[in-house]
Amino acid sequence: MLRVRFAPSPTGYLHIGSARTFIFNWLYARREGGTMVLRIDDTDVERNTEASMQSIFDGLRWLGLAWDEQYAQSDRIALHQQMAWKIFEKGLAYRDFTPMQSTEEERDPAAGPWLGDPAMRALSPAESQRRADAGEPFVLRYRVPRNQNRWVNFKDLVYRKQAKKADDIEDFALLRSNGLPTYHMASCADDLDLRISHIIRGQDHLSNTFKHVLIFEALSDAMPEFAHLPLLIAPDGAKLSKRKHGPVVSVTTYRDAGFVPQAYVNFLCLLGWNPKNNQEFMTVEAIMEKFTFEGINRSNATVNFSDEDPIDPKAAWLNSQHLRTMPVALLAPMVRVAMEGAGISAQGDEAQFQQTVDIIRSRYSVLGDFPAKGRAYFLDDFDTTPEAAEKLNVDGAREGLRALGERLAQDEDFSEAHIEAELRAVADAMGIKAGVLINGSRAALTGQTVGPSAFAVFTAVGRDRVLRRLAAV
């Protein structure tokens, strides 16, 4: 049974790299018919915040990719502790009574790697037990094999064979002096207990994985598969971080910029993965069908943003592609939300609304364009740009448009073909160029000189409004 998990820690907003990890997990689970687990890694009580939790759920829900099971690590601490002591009982862990270091006297990494305190490793079981019984605080550390020429191995689905000498792995902590599990302990215990079959996560965990392999081996015969993803980095070359790069790394930046979720998913998937067929613009379903670990790269990918523009240009392009081609029925509700956000509630029935959206979206690239540029298609109070006013001031324009309005009013036929025929007839009769009325009608009906083909504008605006606006020109 294939089971994957996404395990964010609620210590900040959902960031772009985490979102991508979530998506890859989801893709793999869905493609293989597996189960997607969402596990909140909230063992660091000091740093957890409710706001962060909210932000993660908001972001995840916005992506629109559902998970099947949900857990919080804080509910499972007893299990983590139990597993930690099981390791201890096997003789694979020891108590370290060294007092906690203050931040002042932090160890200098330049002094060489810290592997553990030999004196603490050497403590006899009886002595260790005596000091613990006396209430002396300790951290429980994994007893990594020393001087045995022992290698820790695992195979990564992306990075292939990985090996590290046990002598290069430090005695990492399992339980802190307050008794709570560390990340490594909690994560592995849960992965085991939740029967996670594939651990898909960022490459920043690649070197931690050797420790995890040690924990898994100590506790079980089952070893999950690993797949590490290349990191997302900023244009300055550093790993994306909220502290350094600000809110651009948050998924809400893209949501608020008017992205449709499937475009954002499409964009993120292309950072570090590709379908090997030169295809880039893809629906989520198409990506899912194509998704394999062979398609994942090993080198880090740069998210292309700048101070002036927080949006990667390729993401913007993908968004416009999705916006223009996705089923209107899917897009319409998003447009409604965007417009309500701008204080516009579109009147009219759903069919007319969708028809209008369908016509005008061909020139738009973000959801915000609908309220910002499309006001005239939904409301009667709209501004006329100076350029549009000029088009209307052309000789014969107003007269022609009024005449056109009168002719259209006498006929129920409001098809583009009919409108075009009528418009050309009016132009002929008045001895003016059709272009005057074509450009003039766009200006009169939308207050703008840019937009869909003039005849499509008539149908997008709707018969009643067209007749009113032409009469009032």
* In the complex, least distance from residue 151 CB atom to RNA, rounded to whole angstroms: 10
Between residues 289 and 387, which has the closer beta carbon with respect to RNA?
387
Binding pattern for the stretch 19-48 against RNA, x by CB under 7 A and - elsewhere: ----------------------x-xx--x-
Phi, psi torsion values for 37, nearest 5 degrees: -105, 135
Tokens of 444: 């009169």
Contact 209, 228 (CB under 8 A): yes
Q: What is the DSSP string of 142-197?
A: E----SS--EEEEEETTTEEEEEEGGGS---EEE-TTSPBPHHHHHHHHHHHTT--
Between residues 2 and 257, which has the closer beta carbon with respect to RNA?
257
Q: Which of residues 151-190 bind RNA (CB under 7 A)?
A: 159-160, 162, 164-165, 168, 170, 172-173, 176-178, 180, 182-184, 186-187
**Using the rule CB under 7 A, is 252 a contact of RNA?**
no
Give 359's DSSP letter: H
Between residues 101 and 349, which has the closer beta carbon with respect to RNA?
101
Q: Which of residues 191-250 bind RNA (CB under 7 A)?
A: 203-208, 230-231, 233, 235, 237-239
Alpha helices by DSSP H, 231-368: 242-245, 251-256, 261-269, 284-290, 313-325, 328-341, 350-360
**Separation of alpha carbons 261 and 140, rounded Å:** 44
2, 157, 430, 434: which one binds RNA (CB under 7 A)? 434
* In the complex, least distance from residue 405 CB atom to RNA, rounded to whole angstroms: 18
* In the complex, least distance from residue 217 CB atom to RNA, rounded to whole angstroms: 18
Q: Which of residues 402-431 bind RNA (CB under 7 A)?
A: 427
Contact 30, 288 (CB under 8 A): yes
Which one, of 197, 258, 204, lies nearest residue 233 by Cα? 204
* In the complex, least distance from residue 304 CB atom to RNA, rounded to whole angstroms: 4
**Separation of alpha carbons 372 and 374, rounded Å:** 6
* In the complex, least distance from residue 16 CB atom to RNA, rounded to whole angstroms: 13
- Number of residues located near RNA, criterion CB under 7 A: 89
**Separation of alpha carbons 407 and 220, rounded Å:** 83
68, 70, 114, 342: which one binds RNA (CB under 7 A)? 114
* In the complex, least distance from residue 74 CB atom to RNA, rounded to whole angstroms: 10
Between residues 2 and 121, which has the closer beta carbon with respect to RNA?
121
CA distances from 43 to 180, 244, 301, 308, 377 (A): 8, 25, 30, 38, 52
Between residues 108 and 412, which has the closer beta carbon with respect to RNA?
108
**Using the rule CB under 7 A, is 124 a contact of RNA?**
no
Between residues 102 and 410, which has the closer beta carbon with respect to RNA?
102
Tokens of 372: 């910002």
**Separation of alpha carbons 424 and 421, rounded Å:** 5
**Using the rule CB under 7 A, is 17 a contact of RNA?**
no
Residue type, 170: E
* In the complex, least distance from residue 343 CB atom to RNA, rounded to whole angstroms: 25
Angle at 278 between CA 274 and CA 281, to 5 degrees: 75
Neighbour-count burial of 393, counting CB atoms closer than 10 A to its CB (0-12 exposed, 13-18 middle, 19+ buried): exposed
Between residues 170 and 340, which has the closer beta carbon with respect to RNA?
170
Q: Which of residues 56-85 bind RNA (CB under 7 A)?
A: none
**Taking contact as CB under 7 A, which single stretch among the options 111-119, 121-129, 283-291, 458-466 is the one that binds RNA?**
111-119
**Taking contact as CB under 7 A, which single stretch among the options 87-95, 108-116, 216-224, 402-410 is the one that binds RNA?**
108-116
* In the complex, least distance from residue 9 CB atom to RNA, rounded to whole angstroms: 3
* In the complex, least distance from residue 202 CB atom to RNA, rounded to whole angstroms: 8
Tokens of 138: 């300790």
Q: Which of residues 261-320 bind RNA (CB under 7 A)?
A: 270-274, 276, 278, 280, 295, 297-302, 304, 312-314, 316-317, 320
Between residues 180 and 344, which has the closer beta carbon with respect to RNA?
180
Tokens of 426: 């009016």
* DSSP H or E segment with residue 446: helix 434-446
Tokens of 161: 């064979």
Tokens of 223: 């070893």
Q: Which of residues 450-469 bind RNA (CB under 7 A)?
A: 450-454
Which one, of 258, 266, 152, lies nearest residue 215 by Cα? 152
Q: Which of residues 352-371 bind RNA (CB under 7 A)?
A: 362-363
**Taking contact as CB under 7 A, which single stretch among the options 24-32, 112-120, 254-262, 338-346 is the one that binds RNA?**
112-120
Residues across the chain: 473
Between residues 351 and 429, which has the closer beta carbon with respect to RNA?
429
**Secondary structure (3-state) at 54:** helix
242 tagged catalytic: yes
Active site residue: 86, 164, 239, 242, which one? 242
Neighbour-count burial of 57, counting CB atoms closer than 10 A to its CB (0-12 exposed, 13-18 middle, 19+ buried): middle
Give catalytic residues, as residue numbers: 242
